[in-house]
A and B are shown apart, each in its own frame.
Chain A
Amino acid sequence: MTDEHTHEPPQASDRTGRLYGVLAEYDTPGDLIEAARKVRDAGYTEFDCYSPFPVHGIDEAMGIKRTILPVLIFGGGVAGTLGGLLLQWWCNAYNWPWNISGKPSWSIPANVPIAFETTILLAVFTSFFGMWILNKLPQVWHPFFRNERFNHVTDDAFVLGIEARDRRFDAAATPKLLADAGAILVEKVYLDPDPASRQMPKWITAFIVASTAFALIPFAIAAKARTSHSSEPHLHIFPDMDFQPKYKSDQAMDLFGDGRENRGELSGTIARGSLNADDTFYHGLDRSDAGTQWTTGFPHQLEINDQLLKRGKNRFEIYCTPCHGHDGRGLGAVPQRVALTGGAWQARNLVDASNPVAINMPNGQLFNTISNGYNTMMGYAAQIPHADRWAIVLYVRALQRSQNASLDDVPPDHRSGMQMPEAPTP
């Protein structure tokens, strides 16, 4: 019976080698499970089952304890969560705080997606590499590979192998046990007599060392570039993107007589929506037969009301307060900062009655100042639409009145209990 199933090793020279173990092939996964149970019950420990796909129930049949891998993966996942949070805390909140759309620099909801990804990354790494390590993989060479049928375990073979180092192993009884368990084939596997054949070929070692060294080159270049200077122009990896055959504004160009690429407005034309024919509304000017002067009123297009004043306050606080301050006295955040750094500069005091430059300006001139600037102040024509500039003029007028108000400005029925602050003693 045994002889019928036990084939001789394929190569005669193998018989000179030491016996490594016995392989038995079974017809179905079910037979494999039954055989594994019998081998385990016989007291063997140094054996394993090989199949093309995971066989449900084989762990229990072989008496394999549950793997510790889930615990390791959990640990990897927790490390990933904490590491992801730590990374973001260090980058965003500690080392380089940066205001991103007004969110707190250390903000848990924004950190969750990254922490989630790092959790998965480390959990999967632990799972993947942990599985290899716990299974002692990769084994690029194994004595069982010398058996021809063994190479079918990745295809259609269900194989059980017992190693000779098992203390219950017996060259005669073990193959018989496997055959009695229903094996369709039982074969002995011998080690190659030449020890050199069991070592990793030198060229593989050399390849690993060389490719590892090669992979470090980009990192080395990056590390060097961090600390060195160079007068060479940088590499153009995509020259057709860096040097595009197109003209950009303000470049020189031979085609036109003035040598400019930019085409200005043609004389005698006006761009759509740029006519700005109304002198008062667009320029703050009153033209009359007597001559041209700054207007003292407001353009007739605007209704002077509470809403316009509030709009003016809103725009003033956006565009003007940085220099002129909320009260218009010229002590906004910029002059304060100048003072902090030891300088002395302040913006025009718009409401100063003792030096009433801004108070005495006609409305049109204030409008023109906002539009085109004044001394070091730049023009705001690009940022602020015309109607909003007039709203700011209105608000500046209101500021000038309120900052120089007296008790007479208060309606009589509100005056009781009100006191003007005493003038500060010099």
Chain B
Amino acid sequence: MSVLQKSLHPDEKYKAGKLGATLQKIGIAIAVVFFAISLLLVVFSNPDVARTAGHVDSSGAGDRWARFFFAYVVGWSYIFSICVGVFWLVLLHHLSRGRWATAVRRIAEAMSMAFPVVFIAGLGFVIPLLFGYQDLYYWAHPDAGMCLEKVATACHEYLNPTLAHKLGWLSPGFFAGRYVVYGLLYTGMASYFTRKSRQQDDSGDPKISDQLRVASGPAMIVYALITCFAAFDILMSMAPKWYSTIYGVNFWGSACVGGFAALGLMVLGVQRSGRLTHSVNAEHYHDIGKWMFAFTFFWAYTAFSQFMLQWYGNLPEETVWYKYRLFGEWQWVSIAMLVGFWAFPFVFLMSRWTKRIVPSLVFFAVWQLVFHWLDLYWNVMPSYDWLPTFHGAARIVSGPLTGNTAYHHVGFTPVDVTVWLALIGVLLAGFGRNLHGNLIPVKDPTLGLSLAHENL
């Protein structure tokens, strides 16, 4: 046999065994513990004064919960985006007739099969929204779309033209409906690719590879559209008056950084359990690291494109989003993003050695997973402060990104982290649920090429 092909090592342990069940238990334990801590933190916290000022219609309890739900959206977007990133590798691998990733594809498939769990976890904020919770998305608030203006001595309330016409799309019912559609499409696609791949383990039919390749093209289109629209709906609508057409692409770039970092750690975890020790080597870590590096730059490229066009165009309805991120306390988070999520990993991941030496790759994977969370935090949390507009006795909640930047605080609270960790527990449980049977597509025609894979 040529050196370009290798067969599976005879001593290779490629059966998952109890690995998945163990991971599932760990994930559930983390989720339960941190959700409990989060709930205690919320119940025993003081109602947020700034929030109370904004929410004339809410009870005190609503103000306590607002931060929890904002943290929930950040944490949920995090676990969702990791599945989005990992699933992209599965699609791309089939679409491009990839070879190197065959050895780690089953793990990526199992990770992407966490989609149903993730979308069930997301009901934690979608259901309250559907049943009238108004303090998470401003467009669900009764004051959304309204403006106050004092003309002479009278105070007029009038429709805000930049928001009023969006309220049809951004209504809780339609939002929840789209959420369900996204969940079904992601789950359907991920389970199709996983099921077929496992079928090949039994039959060894090379035609299955062809079927998946044909399916991967349309699937990639559907994937691209629903990823963009999910980002628009769940993250961009946090600042409902603002808009950016590249927003979904930028979210996807960040998601793939997180996805490949998580895949690297997951593969390493599987190897540490004594499985796949012969099949996966530095060459595969190198390629995972390359993708992480590529998307680190891609994220920065799209993030800068979005920033520069809006900065240069200097239209108030566009620059407002950056105004509250480049002035006041948030500017330090923005600088941290620039340095931490792009400059530092970009410079150091450029070398092949930082990607091939596993402890170094682990360092950067963990680093990027933390900054990927910060990216989502930075996208969502500046919308947390809803300042009221007064004109004498008249008052409306004018929503996110209004008022003096000096009144907008990062306002970090422990709940931000505990909710995030709880949802990571949910994600791990989702990973574990599908980590069963073969951990490698044993009869895939390209497996031999992947095992002998070598980077030039």
Q: B-contacting residues of A (Cβ < 8 Å)? A: 28-30, 33-34, 54, 56-57, 59, 70, 74, 101, 103, 109-110, 112-113, 305-307
Instruction: Please give, as numbers and ranges, the residues of chain B lying within 8 Å of A54 by CB-CB distance.
Output: 456
B308: Cβ under 8 A from any A Cβ:
yes
**Nearest 5 pairs between A and B by C-beta?**
A30-B2, A56-B454, A30-B3, A57-B454, A109-B308
Whether A29 pairs with B2 at a CB distance below 8 angstroms is yes
Nearest residue, chain B, Cβ from A73: B350
Please report the C-alpha to C-alpha distance between residue A113 and residue B456 in the assembled complex, in whole angstroms.
31
Instruction: Please give, as numbers and ranges, the residues of chain A lying within 8 Å of B314 by CB-CB distance.
Output: 101
Whether B304 pairs with A59 at a CB distance below 8 angstroms is no
Whether A29 pairs with B456 at a CB distance below 8 angstroms is no
Closest Cβ of chain B: how far from A354's Cβ, in Å?
A: 37
Please report the C-alpha to C-alpha distance between residue A156 and residue B137 in the assembled complex, in whole angstroms.
63
Please report the C-alpha to C-alpha distance between residue A74 and residue B348 in the assembled complex, in whole angstroms.
12
Query: What per-residue 1/0 map shows which CB atoms of B445-456 lie under 8 Å from chain A?
Result: 000000011111
Please report the C-alpha to C-alpha distance between residue A33 and residue B454 in the assembled complex, in whole angstroms.
13
Please report the C-alpha to C-alpha distance between residue A305 and residue B312 in the assembled complex, in whole angstroms.
38
Whether A30 pairs with B4 at a CB distance below 8 angstroms is yes
Across the interface, A56 reaches (CB within 8 A) one of B4, B308, B350, B352, namely B4
Q: How many residues of B contact A (CB 8 A)?
A: 18
Nearest residue, chain A, Cβ from B455: A56
B154: Cβ under 8 A from any A Cβ:
no
Closest Cβ of chain B: how far from A407's Cβ, in Å?
A: 28
Q: A-contacting residues of B (Cβ < 8 Å)? A: 2-4, 152, 304, 307-308, 311-312, 314, 350-352, 452-456
Across the interface, A33 reaches (CB within 8 A) one of B3, B152, B351, namely B3
Please report the C-alpha to C-alpha distance between residue A381 and residue B452 in the assembled complex, in whole angstroms.
81
Whether B308 pairs with A74 at a CB distance below 8 angstroms is no
A29-B2, A101-B312, A109-B308 known; 7 new pairs, CB 8 Å cut-off, are A56-B452, A56-B453, A56-B456, A57-B454, A70-B351, A74-B350, A109-B307
Instruction: Please give, as numbers and ranges, the residues of chain B lying within 8 Å of A307 by CB-CB distance.
Output: 152
Please report the C-alpha to C-alpha distance between residue A28 and residue B152 in the assembled complex, in whole angstroms.
88
Nearest residue, chain A, Cβ from B313: A101
Closest Cβ of chain A: how far from B153's Cβ, in Å?
A: 10
Instruction: Please give, as numbers and ranges, the residues of chain A lying within 8 Å of B4 by CB-CB distance.
Output: 29-30, 56
Instruction: Please give, as numbers and ranges, the residues of chain B lying within 8 Å of A109 by CB-CB distance.
Output: 307-308, 311-312
Closest Cβ of chain A: how far from B315's Cβ, in Å?
A: 12
Instruction: Please give, as numbers and ranges, the residues of chain A lying within 8 Å of B455 by CB-CB distance.
Output: 56
Instruction: Please give, as numbers and ranges, the residues of chain B lying within 8 Å of A29 by CB-CB distance.
Output: 2-4
20 A-B pairs with CB atoms under 8 Å apart are: A28-B2, A29-B3, A30-B3, A30-B4, A54-B456, A56-B452, A56-B456, A57-B3, A57-B454, A59-B456, A70-B351, A74-B350, A101-B312, A101-B314, A109-B307, A109-B312, A110-B308, A110-B312, A112-B304, A305-B152
Which of A34, A56, A113 is packed against the most chain B CB atoms within 10 Å?
A56
Closest Cβ of chain A: how far from B137's Cβ, in Å?
A: 31
Closest Cβ of chain B: how far from A113's Cβ, in Å?
A: 7
Nearest residue, chain B, Cβ from A100: B312
Instruction: Please give, as numbers and ranges, the residues of chain B lying within 8 Å of A28 by CB-CB distance.
Output: 2
Nearest residue, chain B, Cβ from A102: B314
Instruction: Please give, as numbers and ranges, the residues of chain B lying within 8 Å of A101 by CB-CB distance.
Output: 312, 314
Please report the C-alpha to C-alpha distance between residue A30 and residue B454 in the assembled complex, in whole angstroms.
13
Nearest residue, chain A, Cβ from B304: A112
Nearest residue, chain A, Cβ from B314: A101
Nearest residue, chain A, Cβ from B308: A109
Please report the C-alpha to C-alpha distance between residue A70 and residue B3 in the assembled complex, in whole angstroms.
27
Instruction: Please give, as numbers and ranges, the residues of chain A lying within 8 Å of B454 by CB-CB distance.
Output: 56-57
Please report the C-alpha to C-alpha distance between residue A200 and residue B314 in the assembled complex, in whole angstroms.
60
Instruction: Please give, as numbers and ranges, the residues of chain B lying within 8 Å of A110 by CB-CB distance.
Output: 308, 312
Which of B3, B152, B351 is packed against the most chain A CB atoms within 10 Å?
B3
Please report the C-alpha to C-alpha distance between residue A255 and residue B452 in the assembled complex, in whole angstroms.
85
Instruction: Please give, as numbers and ranges, the residues of chain B lying within 8 Å of A112 by CB-CB distance.
Output: 304, 308
Please report the C-alpha to C-alpha distance between residue A57 and residue B454 in the assembled complex, in whole angstroms.
7
Please report the C-alpha to C-alpha distance between residue A110 and residue B304 in the assembled complex, in whole angstroms.
11
Instruction: Please give, as numbers and ranges, the residues of chain B lying within 8 Å of A74 by CB-CB distance.
Output: 350
Please report the C-alpha to C-alpha distance between residue A109 and residue B308 in the assembled complex, in whole angstroms.
7
Whether B350 pairs with A113 at a CB distance below 8 angstroms is no
Nearest residue, chain A, Cβ from B453: A56
Please report the C-alpha to C-alpha distance between residue A57 and residue B3 in the assembled complex, in whole angstroms.
9
Please report the C-alpha to C-alpha distance between residue A70 and residue B350 in the assembled complex, in whole angstroms.
9
Please report the C-alpha to C-alpha distance between residue A113 and residue B304 in the assembled complex, in whole angstroms.
9
Please report the C-alpha to C-alpha distance between residue A307 and residue B4 in the assembled complex, in whole angstroms.
81
Closest Cβ of chain B: how far from A376's Cβ, in Å?
A: 36
Whether B152 pairs with A113 at a CB distance below 8 angstroms is no
Instruction: Please give, as numbers and ranges, the residues of chain A lying within 8 Å of B3 by CB-CB distance.
Output: 29-30, 33-34, 57
Closest Cβ of chain B: how far from A99's Cβ, in Å?
A: 14
Please report the C-alpha to C-alpha distance between residue A28 and residue B453 in the assembled complex, in whole angstroms.
17
Please report the C-alpha to C-alpha distance between residue A306 and residue B456 in the assembled complex, in whole angstroms.
76
Closest Cβ of chain A: how far from B218's Cβ, in Å?
A: 31
Closest Cβ of chain A: how far from B402's Cβ, in Å?
A: 24
Instruction: Please give, as numbers and ranges, the residues of chain B lying within 8 Å of A70 by CB-CB distance.
Output: 351-352
Instruction: Please give, as numbers and ranges, the residues of chain B lying within 8 Å of A33 by CB-CB distance.
Output: 3
